[in-house]
């Protein structure tokens, strides 16, 4: 697990969670809860997307790669994190506000 992709997924998830909450009042749990659940969902789905798309590397490979992340890895983390954050926040918000 690369720390840069994890941070990108956390931030994208928090943003996605807040966007889902603001898109529909039925999903909104407040800014803090949207951000927390969004960040959790962002990491979970972001890691799944990273594994499926082949972005995941072993610890030895990550240590050997000193050039930093490529743009495809960052975009994959952004998309997976944002979508995961939006989905988890919407589901939990819908269940909470039922």
Q: Comparing C-alpha atoms, which of 40, 56, 15 is closest to residue 92?
A: 40
* Rounded CA separation 37/68 (Å): 28
Query: pLDDT for 22-34, tens place per residue?
Result: 999 888 999 999 9
Q: What is the pLDDT of residue 1?
A: 60
pLDDT at 84: 94
Closest CA to 80 of 2, 30, 5, 23: 5
Query: Which residues does the chain have with pLDDT short of 70?
Result: 1, 54-69
Summarize pLDDT for 55-70 with one digit per residue, the tens.
555 556 555 554 556 7
- Mention every residue, 6+ apart, whose C-beta is less than 8 A from residue 48: 80, 84
What's the CA angle centered on 80, arms 54 and 90, to 5 degrees?
A: 150
pTM above 0.85, yes or no: no
């Amino acid at each position: 697990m690369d720390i840069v992709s994890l941070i990108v997924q956390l931030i994208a998830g928090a943003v996605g969670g807040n966007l889902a909450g603001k898109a529909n009042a039925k999903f909104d749990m407040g800014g803090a809860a949207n951000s927390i659940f969004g960040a959790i969902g962002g990491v979970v789905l972001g890691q799944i997307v990273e594994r499926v798309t082949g972005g995941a590397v072993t610890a030895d490979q990550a240590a050997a790669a000193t050039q930093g992340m490529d743009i495809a890895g960052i975009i994959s983390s952004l998309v997976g994190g944002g979508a995961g954050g939006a989905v988890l926040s919407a589901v939990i918000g819908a269940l909470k506000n039922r």
